Amino acid sequence: MSVYAILFDQTLCVGCRACEEACQQENHQPPHQAEGLDAESLTWVEDLGDENYARHLCMHCENPTCASVCPVAALQKSPLGPVTWSAERCIGCRYCMLACPFHVPRYQWNSPNPELRKCQMCAHRLAQGRPTACAEACPTGATTFGRRRTLLREGRNRIESDPETYLETIYGRQEAGGTSVLMLLGRTCGTAHLPANVPPYDLPRLTWGVLEKLPLIIPVWGVFLGGVYWLTQRREAVARAEGAEKGEQQ
C-alpha cells in the first residue's frame, strides 16, 4: 500500500480552480482554464451546475494497470503513492491509455516530440517532504493531503458523522484495488462523472492472466519492442547529431 494520498471532498469544493492554477504553475504550464483532462491540463474542476463541482485527475492506483501493460517500465508506482511516467523510457505505444480504468492518460498528438501527460501527484514535492501543490493551494480544505490510512479514517468519520451529506462509500477505497486519490461524494451534488463500473480489485491480475497464456509470443514481442525502442533512440541521436552539424556549418 502507498504511504500518501489525496482526499477530495466534493461537498467542500467551491469551484475556485485554485488547484488547477497551482498544478499549472508547478508543472511550468501557461495559465489557462481547463475544459477537461488533456495534454496541458493534468487536473480539471468540472462545473456540475447548482454550485456543485467535481475534480478529475489521475487516481494513482495502488497496483496500476497502466504500469502492468507498459513494456518498458515507463510508468511505475512509487512507494510514496504517485504513479510516475518517465519520458526517457517511453516508446509511445500508448497501451497505458487503453488500459487505464479511469480513462486518464493523454497524449500530445500535435507535438513534434509528443509526451504522455497525466498528474504525477507532485512526486518531486513528496520526495522533499512537501504536500502536493493542489492540496497546498486549496482554500476550503476540499483537497487535502496526508497518509492514506489517515485520510481513509477521516473520510469514514465524516460519512458516519453526517450520513445525510455524503454517499456511504469513499470512491477510490477499493476501486481497481484501491487508489491514492480518494473522493468523498455528496448525496445532493449529482453525478461526479467518475467511472462507475471499475471492479473492486486490482486489474493487473487480468493482464498477467492473459500473458500466462501467451508464452511463445511474449519473447518475440519483447524483442520487437526492444528493437522499436532502440530505433527510436537511434533516430533521436541522429537528429541531434544532424542539428549540431548544421549549427556548426552556420
C-alpha cell, 88: 526517457
Q: Which one-letter DSSP state was computed for residue 27? A: T
Q: What is the pLDDT along the chain (250 residues), one digit of tens a residue?
A: 679 999 999 999 999 999 999 999 999 999 999 999 998 999 999 999 999 999 999 999 999 999 999 999 999 999 999 999 999 999 999 999 999 999 999 999 888 888 999 999 999 999 999 999 999 999 999 999 999 999 999 999 999 999 999 999 999 999 999 999 999 999 988 789 999 889 998 887 665 554 454 454 445 555 555 555 555 555 565 556 555 554 555 5
Closest listed residue to residue 151, CA positions, set 164, 168, 170, 136? 170
Question: Where along the chain do its domains lie?
Answer: 4-202, 214-249
Closest listed residue to residue 102, CA positions, set 29, 192, 11, 10? 192
The SS3 call for residue 39 is coil
Closest listed residue to residue 131, CA positions, set 115, 141, 146, 117? 146
Q: How far is CA 92 from the centre of its chain?
A: 17
User: Topology of 4-202 in CATH?
Assistant: Alpha-Beta Plaits (3.30.70)
166 pairs with which residues across the strands? 186
> What pLDDT sits at residue 93?
93
Query: Taking the model in full, what pTM does it have?
Result: 0.82
Distance CA 61, CA 67 (A): 10
- The full DSSP string for 115-161 is -EE---TTHHHHHTT---HHHHH-SSSSEEEEEHHHHHHHHHHHHHH
